[in-house]
Structure 1
Amino acid sequence: MLRVGLTGDLGSGKSTVARMFAERGAVLLSSDEMGRAMMQPGQPVYAAIVERFGREVIAGDGSLDRGALARMAFSDGRVEELNAIVHPAVIAEQARQIKKLARKHPDAIVIVESALLFTTKHGDSGQSGQPWHDRFDRIVLVTAPEEQKIARFVERAAAGRLLDPEERATLEADARARLAMQTANDAHAAECLVIRNDGDLVALLQRVSAVWRELCQVAQFEP
């Protein structure tokens, strides 16, 4: 089995790249999806978040108000408090699923999509986590110019709505603040297979296909 970490800043297009790899036969594990599942009512992670951040982060239907939680975490400088709750649980679940897949599909290429692959300080024990090179055999880094990343973030947040100038400016400022906290990727680029997402989908498909062929060669089977 080949274990591949897939990372990239907010708005880089890593989720699009992840889907392209899945279409080529990769087994995809999304850290975001795992985290969302663990943040549902009744889950230990949900309970720990409410205990730490207070009932202000609970929406009217009992679920977490993710917007309120994000504002509290990012605006109040409490991101690491949130990460210390969520990351160990997500990393432990990734390890469990990869171990299970290795028994059933030893020739698989498993891609773990994670925005904070290089920056997380929390392993599955709640202490300092394993270095990324102990968890993965290869890392794929998706990059894009900053203005494109910001534009993609704003477009996703707008969800088809027409934004007024004030709301657009607020979202752009939010994107810049988040990107300022995601500085580790460029420092590790030399250790990664880099996919630059600065053109159209055709160009991106070509770059993803080239990296997929390389991963298949490493995994010692033909695409």
Structure 2
Amino acid sequence: MLRVGLTGGLGSGKSTACSLFAALGAHILSADEIARELMEPGQPVYDQIVAKFGPSVVLPDGRLFRPVLARIAFTYNRADELNAIIHPATIDRQIELTDELANRDPNAIVIVESALIFETRYGGEKGWRKRFDKLILVTAPEELRIARFLARTAPNGVLTREMRASLEADAQRRIALQIPDDQKAALCDYVLTNGGPLTELEWQVDQLWPLLLEAAQISEKT
């Protein structure tokens, strides 16, 4: 089995790259999806978040009011408090799911999509070096990343000037909390550039896939 971490900044196109790898046969684990599951009512992570951030982050139906939680975390410099709750549980669950996949398919290539592989302080004693055999970075120009964030946040495209300014400021705050791409690239095995048409990213993924297959075979032999 080959354990691959795929990372990149806000709006870089990590999920798009993962969908392309999935089409080739990779098993994809999304850190965001795992975290969302752990933040559902009844989960210990949910209880810890409500206890720490108060009733304002809870909707009438009991689910977390995620936009308010995100605004509190990023606007009032409480992201570390939130991460201290979410990250350890998410990483533990990633490891559990990876082990389950390995038991079912010893030759599997498991790709964990996570924006904060390098940023998190909760990856265990050796952090990402222990959890992954290979690392992939997805990059894109910052202007394009912010534009993608706006499109994702307001898919109907209707934004007032004030809303646009607020969302752009939010995106820039999030980007500022992440390690710059040039520093991440020095730690990664492969870099995918996603600043052009989808076909360019598809070509890069197609070129990289045989290298991952070869690495998986070597890993299995050792």
Same fold (TM > 0.5): yes
| Structure 2 counterpart of 1:24 | 24
| Structure 2 counterpart of 1:153 | 149
Q: Distance in 2 between matches of 1:43 and 1:185?
A: 34
Aligned partners of 2:40 and 2:63 also within 8 Å: yes
CA deviation vs aligned residue, 1:149-171 (integer Å, no higher than 9, x gap): 00000000011231122211111
Percent identity between matched residues is: 53
| Structure 1 counterpart of 2:40 | 40
How far the C-alpha of 1:130 sits from its partner, in A, is 2.9
Q: Distance in 1 between matches of 2:64 and 2:125?
A: 26
| Structure 1 counterpart of 2:167 | 171
Bigger mean CA offset, 206-215 vs 149-158: 206-215
How far the C-alpha of 1:25 sits from its partner, in A, is 0.2
| Structure 2 counterpart of 1:216 | 213
User: RMSD of aligned C-alpha atoms?
Assistant: 1.3
Structure 2 residue 142 is matched with structure 1 residue 139: no
CA deviation vs aligned residue, 1:92-130 (integer Å, no higher than 9, x gap): 11111111111110000000000000010113xxxx553
CA deviation vs aligned residue, 1:190-209 (integer Å, no higher than 9, x gap): 23200000100111100111
Structure 2 residue 182 is matched with structure 1 residue 186: yes
Task: Give the structure-1-normalised TM-score.
Answer: 0.94
Aligned residues: 217
Task: Give the structure-2-normalised TM-score.
Answer: 0.94
- Partner SS state of residue 111, structure 1: strand
- Partner SS state of residue 74, structure 1: helix
Aligned partners of 2:31 and 2:114 also within 8 Å: yes
Q: Distance in 2 between matches of 1:41 and 1:24?
A: 35
Q: How does 1:70-149 map to 2 (within 5 A)?
A: 70-123=70-123, 129-149=125-145
How far the C-alpha of 1:215 sits from its partner, in A, is 0.8
Q: Distance in 2 between matches of 1:36 and 1:85?
A: 13
Q: Which runs of 5+ in 1 are unaligned?
A: none
Bigger mean CA offset, 167-176 vs 26-35: 167-176
Q: Which runs of 5+ in 2 are unaligned?
A: none
Moved over 3 A (4+): none
Could you tell me which of 205, 211, 214 is aligned with 2:202?
205
Aligned in 2, Cα 1:54/1:129: closer, same or farther, shift over 3 Å?
Answer: farther
